[in-house]
Amino acid sequence: MAKARDGKNVSVKMHLGAGWFLSLTPGISCVDLRNFFQHRDNSIRPSRLGIALNYGEWYALMNAAATTNSDLDGFKAFSPCWHATDEQLEYCCECIPFKSSKAVPNDKDTDSATVLCRQ
């Protein structure tokens, strides 16, 4: 983030969970937090749902989040996604939000406990 703020050519697209991504684009002085979706032609496209923050706003948001996290005990209950098996990871919409519907098994193929999410 500091390199981008200082004018360096930085390109980043980081998956945050489900269809949400954080993006830094060379030549654009902002942090873009945006929800993406899978179009009917299977291409991944940005939605209108999201926000672009300048670097000052981004750092203010991160400071507010750190303060909130330390002040409110309820936030300590949140944890990153984890999976006991590769199969659970494969069917997790949070970790792998865009996959072909053909790849998701039917109930007759797999029990409902194994399939964590369907799109």
> Are 84 and 74 part of one and the same domain?
no
- What is the number of structural domains in the chain? 2
> Are 43 and 101 part of one and the same domain?
no
> Are 85 and 68 part of one and the same domain?
no
Looking at residue 56, its pLDDT comes to: 93
Looking at residue 69, its pLDDT comes to: 74
How much is the pTM?
0.64
Say which DSSP state 105 is in: P
What pLDDT digit, counting tens, does each position of 17-59 carry? 888 999 998 888 899 999 999 999 989 899 999 999 999 999 9
What pLDDT digit, counting tens, does each position of 94-113 carry? 888 887 544 433 334 433 33
> Are 67 and 119 part of one and the same domain?
no
- Spatial contact of 12 and 22, defined as CB atoms under 8 Å apart: yes
Q: What contacts 14, CB < 8 A, 6 or more positions away?
A: 21, 22, 23
